[in-house]
Each structure stands twice: as structure tokens, then as C-alpha cells.
Amino acid sequence: MGQPFPVREGCSDSAAIAGSLDRPEGFATIFDRHYVAVHRYLARRAREHADDLASMTFVVAFERRGSFRRDSTSALPWLFGIATNLMHERHRVERRERGALSLLGGERSGSVEGAWLTAGNDDHTDELTQALATLDSAQLDVLLLFAWEELSYEEIAEALNVPLGTVRSRLARARAHLRSWLEPASTDADPTPSEEHR
């Protein structure tokens, strides 16, 4: 049996992944560091499917570890990207199944993203949850990675494999959509907001 993978204190994600190419057991470092964050993200968006999707995220990441960018300081954006893709793949399967059930039994096929989305925070209102559920999925991905996971624009671009300008435009559109959804209700409820609500 080979020697355990040597993980130095403060070893970077990039170094851990590079080392795991020769000693696969070293990838456990990435799992230990990031599983909780990935699972939390998926629990907010995929609810009861979070366990399966989080596990699959690390299976896929392990299989693709050779393609990890060595200049990346953290594996987390990469993992969020894999998790997001797996979640959308599951959504597509759910949509097909719901469509088939609708044809067979007359059930109404709803938005899978809307059905799965949960704010995961008691401070969020029902109105905000509904507004998020109406966002385009590409805009929602960017918004939640920015707001929930506090990724930078550059990290979101890396996670979703899109240009930086695309991240900026999607985030701007998402914010505008939420404002248009939420502000009328806010105005109706309190036409003269106090300073503490600004």
C-alpha cells in the first residue's frame, strides 16, 4: 500500500488536486474542505436532492481533476460550476417527467426551478422567493453565486465558464428584474419609506 498523500498545512487546492493525479486519495482534501459549502448551496436550490447532487459533484470533479486550472486559487468556483450543471441536468429530467405525467394524467406542469428554489433564510420574504423563481435560470445562477456564496465576478465567470462581461450583464438584468418585481409591492405597502428601510 502506498504512503498517504502528504497534505501540508496551508496546501493550496491547486497543489492538492495536482498531487491527486498521482495519488488519487489526495483528492479527499478537496472533499473535506469544500463539501459543506457545496452541499449548503445545493440544499438551498435542490432541497431533498442535495445529498445526491453534492456527492455526484465530487465524483465528477474527481473524474475531471486533470482539467482543473492550475492558476486557480480555490477549487470552490469550479465545484459550484459542476454542481450547477448537475442540478440543471436533474431539472431537465424532472421537466420531461412532469411533461409526460401532464400528458398522461392531465396534471399541470410547473416550473421545476421554481418548485425547488428555497431561500434557505427566514429573513427572505415569500415575495422574494417568488421573484427569484421567475428569473431566467442563467441569471439566477449568477445572482445566487454572487449573493449566497459571495463569489467574485471573476470566480462566477470561472464557475459557469462564461465571459466576465456575461456575468456582469446577467447580474444587472437579475437585479433589474427583482427591483421591478419587488418595488411596486414595497411602494404600495409603504409609500413613504423611513430611513431605516433605505
Give the model confidence (pLDDT) of 33-77 as tens digits.
999 999 999 999 988 899 999 999 999 999 999 999 989 989 999
Domain ranges of the chain: 10-118, 124-188
CA dihedral for 37, 22, 16, 76, sign (positive or negative): negative
pLDDT, tens digit, for every residue of 2-21?
Answer: 444 444 456 899 999 999 99
Q: What is the pLDDT of residue 24?
A: 96
Give the type of residue at 95: R
* Residue appearing with cell numbers 466576465: 164
The count of other CB atoms within 10 Å of the CB of residue 75 is 24
- The CATH number of the structural domain formed by 124-188 is 1.10.10.10
Whole-structure pTM value? 0.74
**What is the Cα–Cα distance from 154 to 162, expressed in whole angstroms?**
10
Q: Which long-range contacts (CB under 8 A, 24 or more apart) does 168-175 make?
A: 170/138, 170/139, 170/141, 170/142, 170/143, 171/139, 171/142, 171/143, 171/146, 173/136, 173/139, 174/135, 174/136, 174/139, 174/140, 174/142, 174/143, 175/143
- pLDDT-derived band at 145, boundaries 50, 70, 90: very high
Domain 10-118 top-level CATH class = mainly alpha
**What pLDDT sits at residue 181?**
83
